[in-house]
Amino acid sequence: MSSFLITFLVALSCSILLLYLYLILGSKFKIYDVPNNRSSHKNSVIRGGGITLLLINIIWVVFDPSQLNILLSVSLSIGVVTGFLDDFKSLNTKTRFILYLIAVAIILFGVLELHRFDTYIWIPLFVIILGSVNTYNFMDGINGITALYSIVILCSSLFFLTSLNEFSFSDNIISYIGFFVAFSVFNFRKKALIFLGDSGSVTMGLFAAFLVVLIGLKINSWSSIILLSVYGVDSVGTIILRLIKKENILEAHRSHLYQDLVHIKKYNHLFTSVLYSGIQLFINIGLMVFYHLGWVEFYAGSILLSLALLFYFLKQYIHGDNLFLE
């Protein structure tokens, strides 16, 4: 049995057990996400399941106490704890921003050692990673979407890095794949049993951004950003439309395209989750193919343009003349 499979099975087993225990504790202590007019669910569901990622991060260090592993674990654990506290204590924006900034700095200068690079690259990467954190948080709104999408990102990254003979973070990626497969058991269903919460979406946003930057450095190209392009275009496009309509982009809303598909077009949650994840999987496979063909920047630019146009025309189709109205 390969080491990859053993790591996956251990992570899967531990995650199922941890999530099941959290389900019991959440029910006992009534840790519920109560639906409101902004919610995409109708029933109270136990929230904050992402806190179990804290133990996954600790397991990493127990089995591999290397400096890079410890730093990555610390960074992602800051995301877990900050998100969990925000789930229940509603941390103010300044506090969240500072904690996220610390987590990103650990990834960039500790794990990726960007102090070796020219300083002009630091600010864009800070923006990209912080943007990914917020994007993941915003997009975690319907059953199954973050679980499936994360599995696609993680598997794509693992395959791409392996093809580049980069194995440094393979066990970390496989552990998270195991977690999200386990989480799907509780979340990818018509009536979800557990929600990930900020503790999970923020942490996965950090990890996904780390993988995008890592791959970008390995292939010396910005094109790795399209590994998150479906989430990215929906999130950025929604922000632009809300700014045009002079809405407060910091307030909770149901304006994303995936939410329009669910609430206006009445698409099933699970179908929409599979649709988003399937499109991203297709894009990621294309990225690997075109990288080896030497046309990766052209491919990435074409994908971003195509997704932007698709976003606009779908929003126009759904909202018609009201698209830009307050």
Give percent of the chain above pLDDT 70.
Answer: 95
* pLDDT band at 230; cut points 50, 70, 90: very high
Query: Does the pTM exceed 0.85?
Result: yes
Residue 48 φ/ψ region, left for φ over 0, alpha for ψ in the -120 to 50 degree band, beta for the rest: left
Instruction: Between 148 and 32, name the one with better pLDDT.
Output: 148
pLDDT of 146 higher than 80: yes
Question: CB–CB of 143/189 below 8 Å?
Answer: yes
Q: What is the pLDDT of residue 77?
A: 96
Listed range (10-14, 116-120, 213-217) with the worst mean pLDDT: 116-120
Give percent of the chain above pLDDT 90.
Answer: 63
pLDDT of 136 higher than 60: yes
* pLDDT band at 116; cut points 50, 70, 90: low
pLDDT of 1 higher than 60: no
Residues 273-294 have a mean pLDDT of 96
Residues 297-326 have a mean pLDDT of 91
Sign of CA dihedral 122, 223, 127, 87: negative
Residues 16-45 have a mean pLDDT of 80
In degrees, to the nearest 5, what angle opens at C-alpha 129 toward C-alphas 121 and 162? Answer: 85
Using DSSP, state whether 194 is helix, strand or coil: strand
3-state secondary structure 160-185: HHHHCCCCCCHHHHHHHHHHHHHHHH
Mean pLDDT estimate for the chain: 90
Q: What is the pLDDT of residue 162?
A: 94
What is the tens place of the pLDDT at every residue in 38-93? 656 667 788 889 999 999 999 888 888 899 999 999 999 999 999 998 887 778 88
pLDDT of 127 higher than 90: no
